[in-house]
């Protein structure tokens, strides 16, 4: 299990040569690669806990622990880092808007993690055929899209108004960095945008002084500095994550459970299935290994990791595309590097001063980053459609999914009783799946997924 064949000992692999999951370079080079993976996952892994109102130190620490869990369950055959998932951000915003606190958030996500783990077990023993039939690319893309675009009001109402000009500058820098910077630097655009936004905010404080804007913690408009590091100086260098979140719940806490809130987060499970499936397929394509036998393990491992982290107040996890980018650039897929990255993340999570720096991220910086990230989440749904050649000349696809997308994006609500209602992401997902399968049986044979893809290919 923990034996890697040493290749190119003491040397850098020649151009075009790959290092497999069960191989490694010298420990020094392996440590360097692990550090690259830490930097790649860094920005998004602690930004998403912040926007969900959870503790970033705890999220970083559990990302390391959960990565080790994932590697063990997949028998060191699926190189991956489990960072904080964005799939539940919209649901968390909905929970908080309905009066839920952080314990309600982590309780709902814990149940979603257990559901994902159960699906992973089923896929491992029964195969992926039923899963693909229930959630074809047309449906999966629609659900991921409505999850992402449902977040637009959060940006418009919470983060952007705190400092619109810093938000605009940060978003502009992030887009330019992600597209224009070469290779690895483009992959860490979120991290670079955080640094840029921090510096610009500090300069704005020096040049223009305090800003008067809405502060969510205060619940009103107040005059304040953009960068406030008063909590950084008093934080310890070493210690377990502690303290109190903005809603008064302890950073490390036990979850509480509400059926209504659980329904809000369950659509995120579909997004996680899509992410994990895509990750395993991408790694298999890069390494040349047949990883289909590990598909169920990967899905189940992510589910268990999400449930485990949430049980202590941590953030949900998912496989990270940022780290796929590092592997694609280096052609080094050694899982040994991921163990090193995971240990570094655990040590960072045990540094309260690091958490204080993260919690001090100016609201305008978060506004600029989230306006890009949330849009990207939604567009991943379109990417799923494009990559799977979903034919929107087929009325089953365009009509069957239309209502679900609008309900999810627009936060349409269906009230059952005074105490129970469905809306937004949960209702949109149910309608997208239900309406699609309600009419899919009527599809002529010529409009099957495979033949539809072939027809699109012929037209192109």
The first and second tokens of residue 411, run together, are: 């936060």
Q: Where are the alpha helices (DSSP H) in 288-320?
A: 295-310
Task: Report the relative pairing of strands 413-415 and 421-423 from DSSP bridges.
Answer: antiparallel
Output the CA–CA distances (angstroms, integers) from residue 272 to 86, 113, 320, in the order listed.
9, 10, 11
Q: What is the crossing angle of helices 395-410 and 424-440, to 10°?
A: 170
As a whole number of Å, the CA-based R_g of the chain is 22
- β-partners of residue 214 are 221
Domain ranges of the chain: 22-390, 391-442
DSSP state of 26: -
Residue by residue, pLDDT tens for the chain (460 residues) are 778 887 776 666 776 677 878 888 788 888 877 877 776 676 667 778 888 889 888 988 999 999 999 999 999 888 888 888 877 888 888 899 888 999 999 999 999 999 999 999 998 888 877 777 877 888 888 877 887 787 787 777 777 888 889 999 999 998 998 888 876 677 677 778 888 998 999 998 888 888 877 666 556 677 778 887 777 777 778 888 778 888 889 999 999 998 889 988 888 888 788 778 777 877 777 777 788 888 899 999 999 999 999 999 999 988 876 677 667 667 788 888 899 989 988 988 888 887 777 777 788 888 888 788 778 778 878 888 888 888 888 888 888 899 888 988 887 877 776 666 666 777 788 888 889 989 887 766 544 444 443 433 333 3
The first and second tokens of residue 419, run together, are: 């105490």
- β-partners of residue 423 are 413
Burial of 166: CB neighbours in 10 Å, binned 0-12, 13-18, 19+: buried
Strand blocks (E) in 108-157: none
Q: Round to whole Å and give the CA distance between 351 and 202.
A: 23
Strand blocks (E) in 184-324: 211-215, 220-224, 317-319
Output the CA–CA distances (angstroms, integers) from residue 203 to 43, 165, 170, 210, in the order listed.
22, 13, 13, 11
């Amino acid at each position: 299990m923990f034996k890697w064949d040493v290749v190119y000992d003491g040397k850098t692999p020649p151009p075009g040569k790959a290092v497999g999951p069960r191989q490694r370079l010298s420990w020094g080079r392996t440590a360097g690669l692990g550090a690259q993976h830490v930097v790649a996952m860094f920005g998004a892994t602690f930004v998403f806990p912040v926007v969900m109102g959870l503790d970033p130190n705890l999220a970083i620490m559990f990302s390391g622990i959960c990565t080790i869990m994932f590697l063990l369950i997949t028998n060191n055959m699926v190189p991956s880092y489990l960072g904080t998932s964005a799939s539940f951000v919209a649901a968390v915003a909905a929970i908080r808007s309905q009066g839920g606190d952080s314990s309600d958030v982590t309780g709902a996500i814990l149940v979603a993690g257990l559901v994902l783990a159960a699906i992973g077990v089923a896929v491992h023993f029964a195969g992926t055929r039923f899963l693909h039939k229930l959630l074809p690319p047309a449906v999966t893309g629609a659900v991921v899209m409505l999850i992402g675009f449902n977040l637009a009001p959060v940006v418009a109402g919470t983060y952007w108004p705190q400092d619109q000009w810093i938000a605009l500058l940060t978003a502009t820098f992030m887009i330019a960095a992600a597209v224009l910077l070469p290779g690895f630097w483009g992959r860490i655009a979120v991290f670079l945008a955080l640094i840029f936004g921090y510096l610009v905010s500090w300069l704005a404080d020096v040049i223009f002084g305090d800003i008067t804007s809405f502060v969510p913690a205060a619940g009103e408009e107040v005059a304040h500095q953009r960068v406030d590091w008063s909590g950084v100086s008093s934080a310890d260098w070493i210690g377990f994550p502690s303290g109190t979140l903005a809603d008064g719940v302890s950073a490390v806490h036990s979850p509480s459970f509400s059926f209504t809130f659980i329904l809000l987060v369950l659509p995120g499970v579909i997004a996680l299935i899509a992410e994990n499936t895509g990750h395993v397929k991408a790694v298999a394509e890069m390494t040349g290994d047949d990883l289909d036998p590990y598909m169920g393990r990967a899905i189940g491992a992510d589910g268990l990791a999400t449930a485990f982290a949430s049980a202590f107040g941590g953030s949900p996890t998912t496989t990270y595309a940022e780290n796929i980018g590092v592997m694609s650039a280096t052609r080094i897929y050694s899982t040994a590097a991921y163990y090193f990255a995971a240990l570094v993340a655990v040590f960072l999570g045990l540094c309260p001063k690091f958490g204080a720096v993260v919690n001090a991220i100016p609201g305008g910086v978060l506004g600029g980053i989230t306006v890009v990230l949330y849009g990207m989440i939604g567009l991943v749904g379109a990417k799923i459609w494009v990559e799977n050649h979903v034919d929107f000349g087929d009325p089953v696809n365009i009509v069957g999914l239309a209502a679900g997308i609008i309900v999810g994006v627009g936060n349409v609500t269906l009230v059952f009783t005074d105490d129970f209602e469905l809306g937004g992401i949960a209702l949109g997902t149910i309608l997208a799946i239900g309406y699609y399968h309600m009419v899919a049986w009527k599809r002529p044979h010529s409009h099957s997924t495979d033949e539809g893809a072939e027809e699109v290919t012929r037209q192109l």
